[in-house]
Amino acid sequence: MDIHEYQAKEILARFGVATPKGALAYSPEQAAYRAREIGGKLWVVKAQVHTGGRGKAGGVKLCRSEDEVMDAADELLGKKLVTHQSGPAGKIVGRLYIEGGVAIAKELYLGFVLDRKSERVMVVASSEGGMEIEEIAAEKPDSIVKVSVEPAVGMQAFQAREIAFALGLKPSQIQSAVNALMGCYRAFEELDATMLEINPLIVTEDDHVMALDAKMTFDDNALFRHPAVAELRDKSQEDPRETHANDRGLSYVGLTGKIGCIVNGAGLAMATMDMIKLAGGEPANFLDIGGGATPERVAKAFKLVTMDKNVEAILVNIFAGINRCDWVAEGVVQALEKSPVGVPVIVRLAGTHVEEGRRILARSGLPIIRANTLAEAAERAVAAWKNNANTVGLKVVNA
């Protein structure tokens, strides 16, 4: 789960990380009022969206008067912000963060990420802040500092000092940097985050280290331990299909292809998408309905997949172990009888009670295309999609 910049800064501030003074605004008038509250002669108006690259896309504006703040807010609110990370769909700006200007002496990069290979929290820092970490790695790899944290003892102050010195900070700036590093680690570890990025982490002209930007991502499976964090979720910034799936206990990731996938098991779902591509098609989604693929769960999966108007064929691929093919077949039949999908449906069943499952599909009388192997199912799905697309195209031309 991602959260907004202002929410991440509120969390970091509670753990002792310094941040510039700022406030939230939902209208141009409120933005100007927030600037007046903050004081000073320089403000930054930031679009609050779940995507990186806001600055390059025009989502961050520097203002030198309250009128400029109001004009910037008026321009940004309701705007679809398209960045290199958001894709062409973009993100709608519904709220702004107004922040006071800060005299910057130096920009740094700081990131905390869960390294699953080493089973450690990895701290990644660089003296080249303000750039994407990918750009830093490509252009100035020698500037990157990496430190692995031993989970048994957590991050130690000496590690934070080593990072601070490696970033080229002055002795007068070290303690402030250590406070920021230790505070970030505590927030990361105590709240079950999977990623924390501050870019840039700045050094002010009076030698204070503070977070000028902040991103945090949390482990969805641990949110039950942190209800206050779970409440920070902004569904308006999420793919509505993924939100719909998440609320119903399904694992779904929307893609750009035409063949919808309903599969049990993440590994099998990945293999199914690979086979579709190998057969010449493109998957429309990753969807893992889990081990308990009851008829009701299968029906929910069909409804979810058909929410994507780009889907022109649906491939159901089930390998039943603790599950049962006859239950899945009943779910497919019930779903199609209740709400016909209007596109070809290809079903491949294997495993427990597979013969009974196939008989249920055959007796249903529904136009279900059956397959015995994954390769056969993928080929038939791609063929059905192409045939369906040609038929639709012919109808449009004849119309």
Our answer to whether residue 197 is catalytic in this structure is yes
Residue from 5, 6, 97, 109 carrying the catalytic annotation: 109
Q: Is 264 annotated as a binding residue?
A: yes
Pure H helices in the chain? 5-14, 28-38, 66-76, 133-139, 157-166, 171-190, 227-230, 240-247, 266-278, 295-305, 325-338, 354-363, 374-398
Q: Is 205 part of any known ligand binding site?
A: no
The 3-class secondary structure across 125-138, one letter per residue, is EECCCCCCHHHHHH
- Is 107 labelled a binding residue? yes
CA distance 302 to 314: 9
Instruction: Please indicate if the annotation marks 102 as binding a ligand.
Output: yes
- Who contacts 164 (Cβ-Cβ below 8 Å, separation ≥6)? 173, 174, 177, 178, 181
Contact 27, 51 (CB under 8 A): no
Say how far apart CA 348 and CA 319 lie, in whole Å: 8
Among the options 5, 6, 185, 197, which is catalytic? 197
Is 46 part of any known ligand binding site? yes
Query: Is 199 within any annotated ligand binding site?
Result: yes
Nearby residues of 290 by Cβ (< 8 Å), 6 or more positions away: 249, 250, 251, 264, 265, 297
Q: Which two tokens stand for residue 64?
A: 């030198």
Length of the chain: 399
Q: CA–CA distance from 232 to each of 33, 226, 306 (Å)?
A: 24, 10, 29
CA 373 to chain centroid, in Å, comes to 33
R_g of the chain, CA atoms, integer Å: 26
79 labelled ligand-binding: no
Distance CA 123, CA 150 (A): 11
Numbered residues of the known binding site for ATP: 46, 53-55, 99, 102, 107
Binding site for Mg(2+): residue ranges?
199, 213
Catalytic residues: 109, 197
Q: Which residues are annotated as a binding site for substrate?
A: 264
Provide the annotated binding site.
Answer: 46, 53-55, 99, 102, 107, 199, 213, 264
